[in-house]
């Protein structure tokens, strides 16, 4: 148990379904992240939230919609996905220093949500 909990662990959905992935952190961190991990590809950073504000959106298709209602919860809403979106989706949190490079930024990861799109 890392302090970052992701649900569900496994999800199978059709291309027309709407589903959501949930991430909850119990570490008091101020930043949360969504990553996508596909087979034989590097981890792809999707979204970053600092102090509940989205600071990064790395050209992610609009069929992925993040939501961060508070500093402890992060959602990834999914709709009209494609089979190539099948992957392991990882959530992480960290305590970011205010000034860039002024301190450590150790990310703590959840166990991941394995998504299969049929």
Partner 1 sequence: SQELEQSPQSLIVQEGKNLTINCTSSKTLYGLYWYKQKYGEGLIFLMMLQKGGEEKSHEKITAKLDEKKQQSSLHITASQPSHAGIYLCGADTGNQFYFGTGTSLTVIP
Residues forming contacts to partner 1 in the complex (CB under 8 A) are 2, 4, 6, 33, 35, 42-43, 45, 48, 55-56, 58, 88, 90, 92, 94, 100-101, 104-112, 114
CB contact at 8 A, 80 and 16: yes
Q: What does the alpha-carbon distance between residue 90 and residue 102 come to, in Å, rounded to a whole number?
A: 26
Least distance between partner 1 and beta carbon 16 (Å): 27
**Residue among 54 and 82 whose Cβ is closer to partner 1:** 54
In the complex, minimum distance from the CB of residue 104 to partner 1, in angstroms, rounded to a whole number: 6
The closest alpha carbon to 95, from 25, 40, 9, 11, belongs to 25
**In angstroms, what is the minimal distance from the CB of 17 to partner 1?**
22
Q: Which is nearer to partner 1, 45 or 80 (CB)?
A: 45
> Quick count: other Cβ atoms within 10 Å of Cβ 47?
22
User: Are the beta carbons of 23 and 73 closer than 8 angstroms?
Assistant: yes
């Amino acid at each position: 148990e890392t302090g970052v909990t992701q649900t569900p662990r496994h999800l199978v959905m059709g291309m027309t379904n709407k589903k959501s992935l949930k991430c909850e952190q119990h570490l008091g961190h101020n930043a949360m992240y969504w990553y996508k991990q596909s087979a034989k590809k590097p981890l792809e950073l999707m979204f970053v939230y600092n102090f509940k504000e989205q600071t990064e959106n790395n050209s992610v298709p609009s069929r992925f919609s993040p939501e961060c209602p508070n500093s402890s919860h992060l959602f990834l809403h999914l709709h009209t996905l494609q089979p190539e979106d099948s992957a392991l989706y990882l959530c992480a949190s960290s305590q970011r220093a205010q000034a860039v490079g002024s301190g450590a930024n150790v990310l703590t990861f959840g166990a991941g949500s394995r998504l299969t799109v049929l």
